[in-house]
Amino acid sequence: MRQRLSNLPQNKTLVLSASLLSAALTMGLILVEEGMNSFEALAATKTTTPPKPLHKAFPHSSKCKRCHLRVYEEWEVSAQSRSIQSAAFRVTLDRFIKAAPQNQQTMCFQCHAPHILEYGHMANHFIDEIKSRDPQIDGVGCTQCHLISGVDSRMTPPHPQFSLGKTVFGGYKNAGENLAHQSQDLKLYKSSQYCVTCHDSLPNARNSNQFSDWLGNWKKTKAEKGEKKSCQSCHMPQAFGQSANGERARNIANHSFPGRFGKVRAKAVELEFTTKVDGEKSTVEVTIQSLVPHNLPLPHPAWSRLVLDLTILGKNLKKFYGEQRFYERVYADKNGSETVLDFEAVKILKDTLLAPEEKRIETFTFDTPSDAPSMDVTVSLGYAPVHGPDDLLKAIEDEATLGKKDQAFRKVQIIKKKQNVTL
């Protein structure tokens, strides 16, 4: 049950006692200002100081390393470990802060540093840490994930529910006793519902009705419904080893979270193509079969687009023809202009995403090379580099330690196939 209040005081601030807030969250009685998304409402009601200092409630993952070395080393190379450290995030956050009202300036952190939901009063500290280029807090680390005891799916986007005690939650049964913390296994940690708090919609939840198809119809896919595979099946693949240093080896989950980076991307699609030469015209027909139960790619404006690249080499292996096609969701801002900044997005201009488990056929027609005995046909599919207006790309380049060599500017190949065709 939701209640929407339209007759609010002019300062538009909702104040709830800690006990009433807890009850409201538990029962789903979220009081929302007209036009205010659920994150803003929660931030507005978070008026009490948490019982622990931030570094005590959410200690840095390096402290977990002492007992969980394998897990830490996997996490350390993951995209999650860099959620507040990339140059692209710093540049985008800076632009967002300059454009956003005061009560929305922590919106990006809901996914990039979700413990802001408990420490909203420390928003400036979070921002200063990120601007420092060497944050001493985690964005998405061990405790940001393993202190989640539930997910409130009635909110848009869904919100994690943290339990800031001495219990660490996870998917393992019969955890070993230790002096660092208590352990409790929850089915939630092996459920896709656990992942939707960050991977279900644009952070600009005000427009959630338009942008609700972030993942696609994943709940009805063969993987989720038929094979009972959760997100963790691919993005935390099963391994065999120690969860904690010195314990017996057993089946455990990988914590490098492969996706755009990592071996799992090679299993994301199947690609085949045929080439037909018909006199002066040639045709390449490419068949792409998505093997994933969600939109491919997930439609984050500046980051997520796939590029299908066709290259034809003719005489002396010189490039004769080339064409690219993109799979993406293109957004417009309030003025109707195309934007790659998610907080500016108010509507969708174009959508060419691969739907969950979709098969798509692309046809390319071009002039046949006339001065060569054969042609080399190369077809590749991969994640395209970050894109956007020149000033945004230049800002990212200037902010990145490696400049234009930063991984944001690199194409990440998924699959590539070649064929030589006699003419």
Examine the domain organization and report whether 201 and 66 are in the same domain. yes
Closest CA to 263 of 38, 28, 74: 74
Q: Is residue 1 part of a domain?
A: no
Could you tell me if 91 and 199 lie in one domain? Answer: yes
Q: Tokens 């119809």 identify what position?
A: 217
Of 275, 302, 305, 298, the C-alpha closest to 378 is 275
Residues 248 and 272 in one domain: no
pLDDT of residue 265: 86
Q: Tens of pLDDT along 339-397? A: 999 888 888 999 999 999 999 999 999 999 999 999 999 999 999 999 999 999 999 99
Residues 318 and 414 reside in one and the same domain: yes
As averages over each run of 10 residues, the pLDDT of the chain (423 residues) reads 32 33 34 40 52 92 94 94 94 91 82 93 94 94 96 82 93 83 93 87 60 84 85 90 86 90 86 97 98 91 89 96 96 93 89 95 97 96 95 96 94 96 95
- Its domain, for residue 146, covers 52-253
pLDDT on residue 114: 94
User: How far is the C-alpha of 2 from the C-alpha of 31, rounded, in Å?
Assistant: 7
Domain limit, last residue, from 211, 232, 253 = 253
Q: Are residues 57 and 98 in the same domain?
A: yes
Return the pLDDT at 209.
Answer: 63
At 311 the pLDDT is: 98
Decide if 341 is inside a domain. Answer: yes
60 domain-assigned: yes
Which CATH number is 364's domain given? 2.60.40.2360
Q: 309 — phi, psi (to 5°)?
A: -120, 120
pLDDT for res 5: 30
Question: Using CA atoms, how far apart are residues 45 and 14, in angstroms rounded to an integer?
Answer: 6
Residues 235 and 272 reside in one and the same domain: no
Domain identity same for 244 and 321:
no
Counting the structural domains of the chain, the total is 2
DSSP annotation of 195: T
Nearby residues of 3 by Cβ (< 8 Å), 6 or more positions away: 29, 30, 31, 32
Pair (241, 98) in one structural domain: yes
CA atoms of 70 and 361, how far apart (whole Å): 42
Q: Do the domain assignments include residue 356?
A: yes
Q: Per-residue pLDDT tens for 190-218?
A: 999 899 888 877 766 554 566 778 888 88
DSSP assignment, residue 206?
G
Backbone angles phi, psi at 68, to 5 degrees: -125, 60
- Which residues, including other chains, have CB under 8 Å from residue 126's CB and lie 6 or more apart? 106, 109, 113, 116, 119, 137
Pairing of strands 3-5, 31-33: parallel
Do residue 231 and residue 316 come from a single domain? no
Q: What share of the chain is helix, strand, coil (3-state, %, to 5)?
A: 30, 25, 40
Domain boundary pick from 225, 253, 281: 253
